[in-house]
Each structure stands twice: as structure tokens, then as C-alpha cells.
Amino acid sequence: MTWFDETLYSEWAHGGYMQRFEISRILHQTHTSQQNLIVFETPMFGRVLAIDGIIQTTERDEFIYHEMLVHVPLFAHGEARRVLIIGGGDGGALREVLRHPGPALARLVEIDPGVIEISRQFLPGLSQGAFDDARADLVINDGCDYVKSCGEKFDVILVDSTDPVGPGEVLFREEFYADCRQILADGGILAAQCGVPFSQAGELTASHQRLAGVFDDAAVYLAAIPTYVGGAMAFALAADSRAPKSVNADVLTRRLKDAGFETRYYSPAIHRAAFALPPYIEALLA
């Protein structure tokens, strides 16, 4: 449930708990063919995108989410040439993928073209021109349908989805994960957001169980992102070996140096430490 007027945006994301954003200005509000979208400015978080009443991203802290979704699997892989992004219409994940010199193709599959259009117009700082990069390939399609029928192989698949409601619900099913495995190249890695364990325990547990039923190894790693209330946010890393989550720090340091760009949250030390889980989260995965 969400309530807002011209001064406050209140998100009841998790029953009985609310967060509020002071609105400086409403920039755009629309109902696309798929979802309700609103972009507004705030004093603390800059511009904010909400979809169907749920905060998706903010200018101020989006770098944490996108760096951890993208750089953990790409630096773990080390040789990714073809990257598939499911969702991610705001362009943040695409931007971070294209900072890597290795990928020759970054294909983004988004079900709602309105998310791309509105993000390019009102949140250009997220994509920073990534949509116009020659290596970027945009496909407007249902991500679940796409992976089932595309017939191509990818080194890394990033599932940059909304929560498992509405159009994003199918991206948390075991059938979808199985289809992703079929289009991963040898040594390929899948990474996906899995919600905030403290307040979305069921989302993490279900996602992990389904991934573990499809891949030989499924791990969880964490990042602290202020916008996603309730504690650290969880990401899944799935592959057919344990190698991706055990890359040593020296290798990660060399790969980051060779990539030639700076990060604001991700680091080799953060990469390895992110897989250390507190007992209450370990219990959810048991």
C-alpha cells in the first residue's frame, strides 16, 4: 500500500512498517501498459523512481545496488564477453556492465518500454549514456519468454527484477531459473536480487531453494542499501561450480585494476566479505 500527496511519499512495503520520503517536486507520473510509475525529487535521495507503489531506485544510493549486482559476478567470471540483463530498464546495471572492457554484447530485456523512456528522460544519471553504447542491445519482451526461446548463450545473466509481484513474479520461478541455466555458456554465472532477508525472508528462502534445485551451487551475498529498508539486501550467485564465490582477493584485485575504472562501494575485500552471512540469514537458507 502506498500513499502520497505533493509533499510526502509513504511506502508500506512490509506489513506494519512504513518509510516516508519528503517530495520536493513530482516530475512525472503515468500508467504504462504494464505498471504505475512515478518519478519525484527528494532533498536527501535526489530523484526517486517508484513502480506500483514500491521504491525501485534513487539517485543517491543506486550505485551500491548496481555495483554489487554487476561487479560481483563479472569479476568472479573474469572473461565475460556476452552479458544478459533481465529487467533493469532504469539503465543502472547496463551502465556498470559497460564499464568493463571485456563484454562485446550487453543485451537488456525489459518488459515495459515505459521504464526505459521515463528513466532516460528523468533519471539520465543512472544510465549515463549506456543505452547509446554500440555494445548495448535493447529487447522489449517478457524476460521469462525471452530466455525460454532465445537459443543463444551468455557468460553472465543478471536478473535485475522488481519484487515478485506483478510482471516480476515470473522471474522468481524455478522454471525461469532452469531456462537461464540452459542459455548460460560453460562457466557461466547468474546473479539476481533476492530482497531484504529481515523483512522478506520468504522471498530469499524460496529463491535460494529454487536456484539450488537448478544449479550445482547457489550462494547468497549481501549489501547495505539505505533505500531498501530492513537491513542488508540479499543477492544470489548461481553457477555449476563453487569457483565463482571463492575467487581469491589477489585475482579480484588484478581484475579490477585491469578493468581500469573506480568504484564507490564494490571492492575485492567487499566482494569476499559479502558472502559472510549472519546466522539468522544462514538459518533461512538451511
Catalytically annotated residues: 160
Question: CA torsion 62→66→68→72, rounded to 10°?
Answer: -170
Confidence band of 3 (pLDDT split at 50, 70, 90): low
Indicate whether 211 and 103 sit together in one domain. Answer: yes
Indicate whether 94 and 45 sit together in one domain. Answer: no
Which CATH number covers residue 22?
2.30.140.10
Contact 166, 94 (CB under 8 A): no
Calculate mean pLDDT across residues 240-269. 93
Which DSSP string do the residues of 204-265 spell out, in sequence order?
Answer: HHHHHHHHHHHSSEEEEEEE--TTS-SSPEEEEEEESSSGGGG--HHHHHHHHHHHT---SS
Indicate whether 235 and 112 sit together in one domain. Answer: yes
Confidence band of 245 (pLDDT split at 50, 70, 90): confident
Which CATH number covers residue 174?
3.40.50.150
pLDDT digits (tens, 9 = 90+) for 56-70: 999 999 999 999 999
Residue scoring higher pLDDT (44 or 53): 44
**Amino acid identity for residue 128 in this structure:** Q
Indicate whether 98 and 220 sit together in one domain. Answer: yes
Domain encompassing residue 113: 62-285
Confidence band of 243 (pLDDT split at 50, 70, 90): confident
Calculate mean pLDDT across residues 167-171. 54
Number of domains in the chain: 2
| pLDDT at 165 > cutoff 80 | no
pLDDT at 162: 67
Confidence band of 230 (pLDDT split at 50, 70, 90): confident
